[in-house]
Amino acid sequence: MVGMNPEILLLQALPPAIEKQMEALYVVHRLHQQGDPAAYVSQHCGLIRAVVTGGGLGIKNAMIDALPGLEAITLFGVGTDAVDLDYARERGVMVSNTPDVLTDDVADLALGLMIATLRRMGEAERYVRSGAWGQSPPPGLARRVSGKQVGIVGLGRVGKAIARRLQGFECAIRYFGPRRYDDVAYEYVADLVELARVSDVLVLSAAGDRAQGIIDATVLEALGPDGVLINVARGKVVDEAALLAALQSGSLGGAGLDVFADEPNVPAALLDMDQVVLQPHRGSATHETRQAMGELVLANLHAFFAGHSLPTRVV
């Protein structure tokens, strides 16, 4: 019966098993299914105390304002850059995310993109699928993965997981970020351009809210015509126009991209580039991890409505 359970606003679809559990505990208002979201929010605004949204989608300040009873925002994702955390803090709204549970999957995808880009796997697969094998020359030689000089931009949870995997490929690892870590043996490079200059591959795993546009034309030029850029962070970490220009001119060797500046809109020029491997923001897209993320969202909701501390509160 409506009103007996706490009411939450869901801004995007979650795994069916997680939504089923939500429905058993809460009245779930699915904003993403509404033809007129603004009118729906206006109709139900006084009933909503918690919002569930994706890390990439987040929530706009205007919607926070439209929900006077809002007390908690639970993110299905680790990134918090799509939420104005300062504004949420001012409004007294708690924010939680789902760290740790997606670390391994994102790191795995970063390695997959690196291997696929260096070994020209996308281009080779398209060649086989087209039926051209035996009819025309195959793609040219690829580049070895093992032993590469790899720079990691952002040595947080995901960055460290990427580095551990790279050790199995006997790669030399350096990193750039806001601070040096004393608990790792990798070389810290304080200048991002210098890190790009000494790297064969530059892997981006930095938090988007602190790194917007840091990969610019100067960094890409330093990475060079044989260099490869891998991005599993956020699209806005890269100056996308500069990236396109570098790839088109040949001043950058290739790129493996899981994220883009204006998702789901991917620059048309990237679609025709054989030296680029593209993914639709799938860093955490495994059954196991999405289930674990959903369970952590549920844990945060349960704690909130029970009056307890949120397990993974960021604000």
Q: Which residues are catalytic?
A: 234, 263, 281
DSSP string, 67-89: -TT--EEEEESS--TTS-HHHHH
- For residues 114 and 108, what is the distance between their CA atoms, to the nearest angstrom? 10
Distances (CA, A) of 107 to 4, 144, 210, 271: 42, 19, 20, 24
Q: Tell me if 230 sits within 8 A of 252, measured CB to CB.
A: no
CB neighbours of 231 closer than 8 A, spacing ≥ 6? 204, 215, 237, 238, 255, 256, 257, 258, 259
Give the position of tokens 């605004």.
45
Environment class of residue 203 by beta-carbon count within 10 Å: exposed (0-12), middle (13-18) or buried (19+)?
A: buried
Give the position of tokens 């094998």.
133
CB neighbours of 84 closer than 8 A, spacing ≥ 6? 61, 64
